[in-house]
Amino acid sequence: MIGSKIIHLESIDSTNNYVANLVKEKTIVNGTVILTDEQTAGRGQRGAEWSSLSGVNLLMSVYYEPANLSVEYQFYLSKFVALSLVGFLTSKGLNAKIKWPNDIYVNGKKIAGVLIENQLSGSNIKSSIIGVGCNVNQTDFGEINATSLKLECSGFVPVDEVLFGLIQCFNKNEGLLTNFKLIDSIYHSNLLGLNEERLFLVNGNRVYGKIKSVSQEGKLNVIMNDNLNSFDLKEIAFVF
């Protein structure tokens, strides 16, 4: 059960790094959550830095051992986590969407991000470190296109409320990992830009296209110039 053990730290370089060290030491159990008030070297997708003010946002990692999940289906972990975030934000009255591959947007602005690092055993995923950053009470993001629960809900939201609400959604949605057809359907219904004309950056060029789906492997399938193209993480970017 996710959240059966919670470790709260005041400051750490990265909650994912902290979990990775516990894994090496074999001193962590399935479902453990590491929570910190401050990350000094938080990381996001594409090697980006995750920047957050101290004590105002949710910064956490979950150590998770999926049951019999093969490497070829590893992107379903990302779908599971993203849908759990969307589920919690929806419970707060927000219209949250998943921006491929695993950012969460509200009203066209980023409110949360996910970084998953898997440890393999043969053709299966032995364990996963699921890092989640969610903007809760931060209100100033400079030039970054971001928002927070406080801004969207017009008031202070306790970080613990977000933590326990998200843990509840994780445990509620865990069964989706055994029903790929259902998780695909729910994921696509919450996918930002699905079947909408959007501007993308591909090989330095701005190209219009429509997202048709996300493949089993996690590739973004986009129709451009009447052709269906599949893109990996670093091959395409949204232009907002």
pLDDT at 54: 74
pLDDT at 55: 84
Name which of 104, 97, 168, 108 is nearest 136 in CA terms.
104
Q: What is the pLDDT confidence band of residue 52, given thresholds at 50, 70 and 90?
A: low
* Gap between the Cα atoms of 139 and 152, Å rounded: 10
Report residue 17 as tokens: 């790094």
Query: Which domains does the chain possess?
Result: 6-189 (3.30.930.10), 197-238 (2.30.30)
Q: Is 55 left (phi over 0), alpha (psi -120 to 50) or beta?
A: left
- pLDDT at residue 89 greater than cutoff 50: yes
* Gap between the Cα atoms of 108 and 162, Å rounded: 21
pLDDT at 51: 54
- pLDDT at residue 50 greater than cutoff 90: no
pLDDT at 44: 52
Beta bridge partners of 60: 35, 132
- pLDDT at residue 215 greater than cutoff 50: yes
**3-class SS letters over 1-40:** CCCCCEEEEEEECCHHHHHHHHHHHCCCCCCCEEEEEEEC
* Gap between the Cα atoms of 67 and 196, Å rounded: 36
What digits encode the pLDDT tens for the residues 228-240?
A: 999 998 899 999 7
Q: To the nearest whole percent, how much of the chain has pLDDT over 70?
A: 95
pLDDT at 45: 44
- pLDDT at residue 118 greater than cutoff 50: yes
pLDDT at 49: 46
pLDDT at 156: 97
Q: What mean pLDDT do residues 13-33 have?
A: 96
Q: What mean pLDDT do residues 83-100 have?
A: 98
Helix (H, G, I), strand (E, B) or coil at 173: helix
Q: How is the beta sheet containing 96-99 ordered, strand by strand?
A: 6-12, 33-39, 58-64, 124-134, 109-121, 103-106, 96-99
Average pLDDT of the residues of the chain: 94
Q: pTM, whole model, 2 decimals? A: 0.93
Helix (H, G, I), strand (E, B) or coil at 138: coil
What digits encode the pLDDT tens for the residues 149-166?
A: 999 999 999 999 999 999
